[in-house]
Chains A and B, each alone.
Chain A
């Protein structure tokens, strides 16, 4: 056993018990999700809690769409942070750039799968969405720009950005060598190449920011352009979506960074400065979002026509009040914590993670509240008030998607450095 093996960084290729266990858990979730989805495929979406608007007093969009929006939101912040790091040359944040990119890609995949889970004819959807694409539909924006286009962009970005690391890793013999060589695609870590690489990723980063804004705005338009649904139609829908995307994505990133820091013992690379920066950015986004929320609130309280009032009532003290207030509290506590940290200058990773988790609870809650109540309580026609609660199938599929996300992340982390490699 005298073979000289150089260890790959960040535990690539090494399988620990903990990792296996985590993988197993993620796998169980994924398989469960698959099973739930199979039920839906066989029996139709009658196994979900969704039903028609009107005489069925239901909501035809439910948990799936809420999570499509949520996943897309998460994806937003990942690539945004990565791009900002590149654009603003935030060198000390480099360590989290890769994980942010991966997070984006995975979240987008989950979002895409969420759409597939939602549609009634998934097989046909693949073909028809491309074959008969109607750019006039905001859904086109969601699927084509926000998911497919954006996924493509994110993948390209991840790929290009990873070429240098791949080239470095390709030098190390091992079973992934071929893969790294393919990824590196002839890239040599020469200064010129590095220079070229830097420039390319700078422009890519620059390009991706507006794409990002457009994509997430169209997502807002999916709702914001619908005159017929109180609570949806509005100009704040798009910026609001953007802000919330930032909040959830940053929260996610904080949690991810903290986990990886712990698992890989990266206390040095991902130091408190990284978290300070993330914390402040999250503070800004949260504050902006809370501002939007309050404005929207006040507008509807004041202008409230009956439909809007009915909706608001359901949110503030009706059926959805617990989700609403849970979300508000889950935003306000982090806001206070973040302000506190900013004011005192003392940043505590524990609190930050706590905030990151909370804002994601809020994000999920708010996504749900955007999607569902306008359907059940937002009818301009005098139908009876509707109701929606997800069934185990929907919850299963969503958990499955989350499991799949974790699975993909863990697998990625086992084949590619989750942080930019300094030197081998």
Chain B
């Protein structure tokens, strides 16, 4: 079986945040939720300054603290390497979130259907698009996935449950790349089978120096970075996003 992973080439990333928007539209994540987040960084002092960008999905850690702490097994590891969240089982304790060192979890603080930016209940619009809670609702997200047949795809599932990047499990099952990887203008995000030595991701990791985030935390992320360096304390975030719901 394939064991998926992601390789992100920071030398290619323009920081455009298309991946963030693609993730949102593909996965119908509610307002304020960024399963994919792109850091924009600056370091050094004028004129010896450097600017660079770092996309941050869920790391799908092999030794995932979030999985360990989940009291009900809603957050679990799949054989294909994905760290999944079962929306039907999650009790919304948010322990996974505080345990995750990467800040990738998003809780449905409110009813998702009321949290999609615009008034989709507009009567003129309803005539055209019906009563979808979000006009661009992706029909693939409500289904059960994997041999375990659990509902783990997409966002905005229910008030009071935890969500995060799914590695686009619903697309993987169709043989498609995750939405963020597919959209990336410079193809900075590569996704594939890390167990297959011939896969593009494996080759890249063989050829180029790489790092993982917070390696010292022992989480064994399945997301690897090429180029630049791990963010250190001298790195400042610019153009940061801090929207609350």
A/B contact in complex, CB under 8 angstroms: yes
Is B71 on the interface with A (CB-CB < 8 A)?
A: yes
Chain B 30-83 residues near chain A, CB threshold 8 A: 32, 34, 37, 39, 41, 56, 65, 68-74
Cross-chain contact A138 with B242 (CB below 8 angstroms): no
**Do B98 and A53 touch across chains, with their CB atoms under 8 A apart?**
yes
Q: Which of B91, B101, B241 contacts A55 (CB 8 A)?
A: B241
**Given the contacts A227-B218, A384-B237, A139 and B93 also touching, CB distance less than 8 Å:** yes
CB of B65 within 8 A of CB of A120, answer no
Q: Is residue A185 contacting chain B, with contact meaning CB distance below 8 A? A: no
CA distance A185 to B137 in the complex (A): 62
Contact present for A55 and B109 (CB under 8 Å): no
Q: Does B103 lie within 8 Å of A54, measured CB to CB?
A: yes
A60 near B240 with CB under 8 A, answer: no
Q: Which of chain A's residues have a CB closer than 8 A to the CB of B236?
A: 382
Task: Give the bracket for the number of chain A residues in contact with chain B.
Answer: 35 or more
Question: With the chains together, A384 CA to B240 CA distance in Å?
Answer: 8
Interface assignment of A143: CB less than 8 Å from any CB of chain B = yes
Scan residues 322-345 of chain A and give those whose CB is less than 8 A from a CB of chain B.
none
Assembled-state Cα–Cα distance A306/B232 (Å):
9
Provide the A32-63 mask, 1 if CB < 8 A to any CB of B, else 0: 00000000000111101011111111101100
Question: Closest CB-CB distance, B154 to chain A, in whole Å?
Answer: 17
Q: Tell me the B188-245 residues at the A interface (CB within 8 Å).
A: 213-214, 217-219, 231, 233, 235-237, 240-245
Among the stretches A9-17, A129-137, A312-320, A416-424, the one at the interface with B is A129-137
Which residues in window 109-140 of A have CB below 8 A to B? 115, 118-122, 124-125, 128-129, 131-134, 136-140
Set A46, A56, A379: member contacting B110, Cβ < 8 A? A46
Q: Find out whether the CB atom of B72 lies under 8 angstroms from the CB atom of A384.
A: no
Residues of A within 8 A of B71 (CB): 129, 133-134, 137, 139-140, 143
Bound-complex Cα distance A136 to B69 (A): 7
A381 adjacent to chain B (CB < 8 Å) = yes
A121 to B97, CA, bound (A): 15
Asked if B27 CB lies within 8 Å of chain A CBs, one says: no
Contact call A56/B214, Cβ cutoff below 8 A: no
The verdict on B159 contacting chain A, using a C-beta distance below 8 Å, is yes
A57 vs B233: C-alpha distance when bound (angstroms) = 18
B233 to chain A: which residues have CB within 8 Å?
Answer: 306
Tell me, yes or no, whether B10 is within 8 Å of chain A by CB.
no
Q: Which of B92-139 contact A (CB under 8 A)?
A: 92-95, 97-111
- Cα(A133)–Cα(B73), bound, Å: 8
* Residues of chain B within 8 A of A48, CB atoms compared: 109
Partner of B101 from A52, A57, A58, A381 at Cβ < 8 Å:
A381
Q: Is B160 an interface residue (CB 8 A)?
A: yes
A388-405: which residues lie under 8 A (CB-CB) from chain B? none
Which residue from chain B places its CB closest to the CB of A307 in the assembled complex?
Answer: B233
Decide if A159 is an interface residue (CB 8 Å cutoff): no
Interface pairs (7), CB distance under 8 Å: A44-B109, A55-B240, A57-B244, A120-B108, A121-B90, A129-B72, A140-B71
Q: Are B159 and A120 in contact (CB under 8 A)?
A: yes
Cβ of A383 < 8 Å from any Cβ of B? yes
Judged by a CB distance under 8 angstroms, whether A229 is at the interface is yes
Contact present for A45 and B160 (CB under 8 Å): yes
| Residues of chain B within 8 A of A384, CB atoms compared | 237, 240, 242
Chain B nearest CB, measured from A51 CB (Å): 5
Within the complex, what minimum Cβ distance (angstroms) separates A48 from chain B? 8
Q: Is B161 an interface residue (CB 8 A)?
A: yes
Known: A57-B242, A124-B91. A132 touches B72 (CB 8 A): yes
What are the residues of chain A within 8 A of B95 when measuring CB–CB?
137, 139, 222
**Nearest Cβ in chain B — how far from A138, in angstroms?**
6
Given contacts A132-B72, A133-B72, A134-B73, contact A381 B218 (CB under 8 A): no
Within 8 A of B (CB), among A198-231: 222, 225-229
CB interface residues, A 350-377, toward B, < 8 Å: 375
- The CA-CA distance from A45 to B244 in the complex, in Å, is 13
Q: Is B143 an interface residue (CB 8 A)?
A: no
Is the CB of A380 closer than 8 A to any CB of chain B? yes
Establish whether residues A380 and B160, one from each chain, have CB atoms under 8 Å apart when the complex forms: no
Taking the closest CB of chain B, its distance from the CB of A170, in whole angstroms, is 42
> In the docked arrangement, what's the CA distance between A227 and B214, Å?
10
Given contacts A60-B97, A118-B93, A121-B92, contact A228 B214 (CB under 8 A): yes
Closest 7 CB pairs of A and B: A120-B92, A228-B101, A120-B160, A54-B103, A46-B110, A125-B91, A46-B109
Residues of A within 8 A of B3 (CB): none
Q: How far is the CB of B81 from chain A (nearest CB, A)?
A: 20
Give chain B residues whose Cβ lies under 8 Å from the Cβ of A306: 233
For the complex, give the distance between the alpha carbons of A139 and B109 in Å.
21
Q: How far is the CB of B18 from chain A (nearest CB, A)?
A: 17
Residue in A43, A137, A143 whose beta carbon sits within 8 Å of that of B68 in the complex:
A137
